[in-house]
Amino acid sequence: MRRTGGTTLASLLSTLSEHRGVEHEPFNNERMYGHISQTFAQTSDAVQLRTDLQSCLAERPVIKHCYELMSHAFNAVLFEVSTALGYQHIILDRRSETERILSLELAHLTGAWGGEAAQKIYPAIETGEMALQPINMQRAERQMRLCNTRRQELAQITDDAGIAPFVVYFEDVYSDPVAGRALIERLLAFLGIRPEEHPDYEHLVSDALLRRGQNSARILQAVPDVDMAVKKLEALRRVQTTAFMPS
């Protein structure tokens, strides 16, 4: 899902993988395979979708896919086709769903969707030069409910297929560099990637663990009424129980 450190992790894995990487979230509108998802949204033609996915994934490019942005029907066919082609599946999530949603809302409020944009925009917020609007609670709560549904659907898809993806949590990768490095090494073993075959492995991993990310929490208090927003999101989170077991 978005705001889980997926860009950093996917970029690292793409660099280390024998398979070529492609544009992140390639099925989003305006991206390289966006026409495939748009056609399916208009036609609901699963046969055509299967054919289109088999074609664009035939060479098994590394895909970072934010599954909450697509329908359950699209995700089910994508999982089916990619599994048949020999893909390994990784689920990346965040233990604190409230923090994830707040990070998503901050991206909406600031326009900083990546690290480079954050470096340009956040200083103006921290100095008070740029004022932020309150959290859009209707959008935030709707997103939390939708994502809970998408988790349930994905869990059912993997269970029905009898496949156990490698489950990674944001906090387990980025909170502690030592533990994060050990987790990445287990993930690479799952993928059949040998770190010793990459001379720059140590630099790549250190860069991913220590020098990436936006640290959006540092500007959270600049959002009006943020404490009330946190309380409302936490109340909603407590009635949602879906979570993946970490690998």
- pLDDT tens for residues 154-165? 999 999 999 999
Q: Which contiguous run of DSSP H or E holds residue 204?
A: helix 201-210
pTM for the full predicted model: 0.91
Contact in structure between 151 and 75 (CB atoms under 8 Å): no
- Calculate mean pLDDT across residues 53-72: 97
Distance CA 93, CA 136 (A): 22
Contact in structure between 225 and 135 (CB atoms under 8 Å): yes
In this model, does residue 212 exceed pLDDT 70? no
- pLDDT tens for residues 94-145? 999 999 999 999 999 998 887 778 888 988 998 889 999 999 999 999 999 9
pLDDT of residue 167: 97
